[in-house]
Structure 1
Amino acid sequence: MLNIVLFGPPGAGKGTQSQKLIDTYRLIHLSTGDLLRSEIAAGTELGLRAKELMDKGLLVPDEVVIGMIDSKLKENKSAAGFIFDGFPRTVPQAKSLDTLLEQNNTAISGMIALEVNEEELTKRLLLRGQTSGRPDDQNEELVRKRVQEYNTKTAPVAGYYANQGKYNAINGIGEIEEIFTEICEIINSYAVQPKA
């Protein structure tokens, strides 16, 4: 099973690249942002709690996110693999994910990090906010806070996977196709070929 952690700050291009990887490798996309937004849209208790935190630019508690991921793994036992997008965001989450995957007889194949500087991220997110209707992308102060939160809490996760020999970083600024080709080269080095 091919399990990829697609990593990078908000606005790095994870969603765009995830879709291309899903089509090429027949993976299931596990975006914690999408899972949370669907809970919010459904007006569930979990969604309301998550919305309150997200509106402040804060992260949702680990046990909530791990629970959602566990459900998705169990729903898709015959999958070719998963792309984890926006998760894990902390070292404890990475450890919990490793444990969860082990319980499901699989593991993370590798982490691919899209690196984009803060000014470019801010520009991209504010632009996305104009077209997506996402309120968290429309306020520059909130956008910068999210990037700061990422840098403080999430960046150490790269070290966690680097210690396992599973970390790969690429420049997230450039042509979408060129970035995608570079990602595929890394994935193919995991000895997994695209599904025909």
Structure 2
Amino acid sequence: MSRAYRGTKGFLMPLNLFIIGPSGCGKSTQAKLIADKYSLTHISMGQLLRDEIAAGSGFGLEAKTYIDKGVPVPDDLVFDVLVNKLKNINYQNFIIDGFPRVLNQGKIIEYFLKKQSLPFSLLIHLTIDFNEVVRRRQKAGESFQDATRSDNTPEAIVNRQKILYESNIDPILDYFKSKNILFEVDGNRPIEPIFTDICLAIDNI
């Protein structure tokens, strides 16, 4: 039997969530907590692609050709990999972290779910200060080496990533905010209060 969520309107409905934010913001941690609380399937888009590559699947081999060149995996390929995973759970009751990364991906999955008569329930965006990203990633022992650049200090590398991230994220936020399915939460705080705020937003869908 499919799981369902009883929203504020009192009827059962699938719960399909998406959580995004820059590297180091804690979105995967929050996604796991949310998945446990609401009995959802947690899908990490980055891990999903890595698993496909490790398995040597057709999707994975094609994705690897782009990753090896240092260019983004095309949206249609990312979507095919995701849908292949979602079909195993009837396309519902999930939280996906790290997706959408660009507006086109968001529009594609929104349209796809609508065609299945399923909701795009909520997009959760974790905001975080630049200095906090650097602190967390250094604490985690993450390497910031970039042999192709001379200015490869942790701050410089994260700042380049921040500029690229923000150029992609702003159109996504504007689009889903206009549809009243965007929730932004301060990710600079400890795990527990962030989780509490997200749960309140979910419970008010």
Please indicate the TM-score interval, normalised by the length of the shorter structure. Answer: 0.7 to 0.9
Count of aligned positions: 180
More helix, by proportion: 1
- How many Å apart are 1:78 and its aligned residue? 7.4
Q: Is residue 33 of structure 2 the alignment partner of residue 20 of structure 1?
A: yes
Counterpart in 1 of 2:53?
A: 40
Distance of 1:73 and 1:104 partners within structure 2: 12
- Pair 1:179 & 2:194 matched: yes
The aligned counterpart of 2:124 is 112
Q: CA RMSD in A?
A: 2.0
| Greater Rg by CA | 2
Answer whether contact 1:10 1:147 (CA < 8 A) is retained: no
Pairs within 5 Å for 1:63-74: 63-74=76-87
Q: Say if 1:4 and 1:108, in contact at 8 Å, map to a contact too.
A: yes
TM-score, normalised to structure 2, is 0.79
Within the candidate set 112, 136, 160, 1:145 is matched to 160
Question: Deviations for 1:65-116, whole angstroms, at most 9, x for unmatched residues?
Answer: 110111122111175x111211111111111011111232212111111110
Q: What percentage of residue pairs aligned between the two structures are identical? A: 33
Q: Distance in 1 between matches of 2:159 and 2:42?
A: 26
TM normalised by structure 1 equals 0.83
Residue 194 of structure 1 is matched in structure 2 by none
2: CA distance, partners of 1:82 / 1:69: 12
Which 10-residue stretch deviates more, 148-157 or 17-26?
148-157
In structure 2, what residue type is equivalent to 1:144?
N
Q: Give the residue type in structure 2 aligned to 1:177.
A: E
- In the alignment, the residues of structure 2 paired with residue 27 and residue 120 of structure 1 have an alpha-carbon distance, to the nearest angstrom, of 29
For the 8 Å contact 1:39–1:46, the answer to whether it is kept is no
In structure 1, C-alpha distance between the alignment counterparts of 2:139 and 2:110, rounded to whole Å: 35
